């Protein structure tokens, strides 16, 4: 193993955030992508708070969120409605996961804080790994992630009709977490590639990363709740 692996320079904080292989134009678009992602996360948080404290939302919220996303994807890139549609999608997504967050708060409020920090840590770590790695090193993951996502969807359908076991649910939960962690790396490198070939749609790029972020958060929250429930049962 190379001695440079253990060198201080490799882990020096200023070097960690230097991305010399990215062009100035790519960096500008990426800054917009992550700014939009932050706004989306904020909109999602407002939606969750609205559900918890004002009981906003209902059984059709998820469907409305999907319609909003489809309208965004089919809108012209120059349309003034794309950004509001994207923020509305984030808000409705937050409303949809509000009941899960509310349940976590009733089980143990510290679960939510842990889930938020864990999600942030995972997302930042995997994003940095993708940004620092060779530009197309992780693009091969697309096929693996796509196949895994299909398997997870099949497990979800089986669960909806009552054919999935608790073991299958756990496989779906933990595999889903692993898959969406992989998507953070894959989507980040794919975004860089698309930007460099001329696709500078920062709103669409932010949307893909937002979907990954929410998927990771939801799964971490469920895992922490399951562990807390198991601990309570063990104590009894």
- Given a contact cutoff of 8 angstroms between Cβ atoms, the answer to whether 95 and 212 are in contact is no
Domain ranges (residues) in the chain: 22-235
Q: What is the mean pLDDT of residues 42-46?
A: 97
Reduce the secondary structure of 22-82 to three states and give it as a string.
CCHHHHHHHHHHHHHHHHHHHHHHHHHHHHHHHCCCCCCHHHHHHHHHHHHHHCCCCCCCH
The tens digit of pLDDT for each residue in 124-172 reads 999 998 888 766 667 778 888 888 889 888 888 877 777 667 878 888 8
Q: How many degrees, rounded to 5, is the angle at CA 65 between CA 173 and CA 75?
A: 120
- What is the band of 4 on the pLDDT scale with cuts at 50, 70, 90? very low
Res 24: pLDDT: 87
Determine what percent of the chain is predicted with pLDDT higher than 70.
Answer: 87
Res 2: pLDDT: 36
- What is the band of 20 on the pLDDT scale with cuts at 50, 70, 90? low
Q: What is the mean pLDDT of residues 186-200?
A: 91
* Residue 133 DSSP one-character state: S
Res 234: pLDDT: 66
Is residue 221 pLDDT above 60, yes or no?
yes
Residue bearing the bigger pLDDT, 19 or 202: 202
- What is the band of 174 on the pLDDT scale with cuts at 50, 70, 90? very high
- What is the band of 104 on the pLDDT scale with cuts at 50, 70, 90? very high
Res 21: pLDDT: 73
Residue bearing the bigger pLDDT, 4 or 77: 77
Q: How far is CA 167 from CA 162, 180, 214, in A?
A: 13, 20, 23
Secondary structure of residue 116 in the 3-state scheme? helix
Res 106: pLDDT: 92
Tell the burial category of 165 from Cβ atoms under 10 Å away from its Cβ (0-12, 13-18, 19+).
Answer: exposed
Residue bearing the bigger pLDDT, 53 or 3: 53
- Given a contact cutoff of 8 angstroms between Cβ atoms, the answer to whether 210 and 94 are in contact is no
């Amino acid at each position: 193993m190379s001695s440079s692996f253990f060198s201080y320079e490799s882990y020096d904080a200023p070097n960690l955030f230097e991305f010399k292989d990215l062009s100035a134009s790519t960096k500008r678009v990426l800054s917009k992508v992550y700014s939009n992602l932050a706004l989306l996360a904020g909109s999602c948080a407002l939606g969750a708070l609205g559900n918890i404290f004002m009981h906003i939302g209902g059984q059709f919220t998820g469907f409305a969120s999907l319609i909003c996303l489809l309208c965004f994807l089919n809108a012209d890139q120059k349309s003034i409605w794309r950004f509001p549609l994207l923020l509305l999608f984030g808000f409705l997504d937050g409303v949809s996961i509000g009941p899960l967050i509310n349940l976590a708060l009733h089980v143990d409020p510290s679960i939510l804080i842990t889930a938020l920090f864990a999600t942030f840590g995972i997302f930042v770590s995997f994003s940095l790994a993708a940004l620092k790695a060779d530009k197309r090193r992780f693009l091969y993951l697309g096929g693996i992630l796509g196949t895994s996502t299909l398997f997870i969807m099949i497990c979800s359908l089986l669960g909806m009709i009552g054919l999935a076991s608790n073991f299958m649910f756990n496989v779906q939960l933990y595999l889903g977490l692993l898959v969406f962690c992989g998507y953070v790396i894959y989507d980040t490198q794919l975004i860089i590639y698309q930007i460099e070939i001329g696709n500078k749609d920062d709103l669409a790029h932010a949307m893909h990363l937002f979907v990954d972020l929410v998927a990771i958060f939801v799964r971490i929250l469920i895992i922490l709740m399951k562990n807390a429930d198991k601990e309570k049962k063990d104590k009894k």
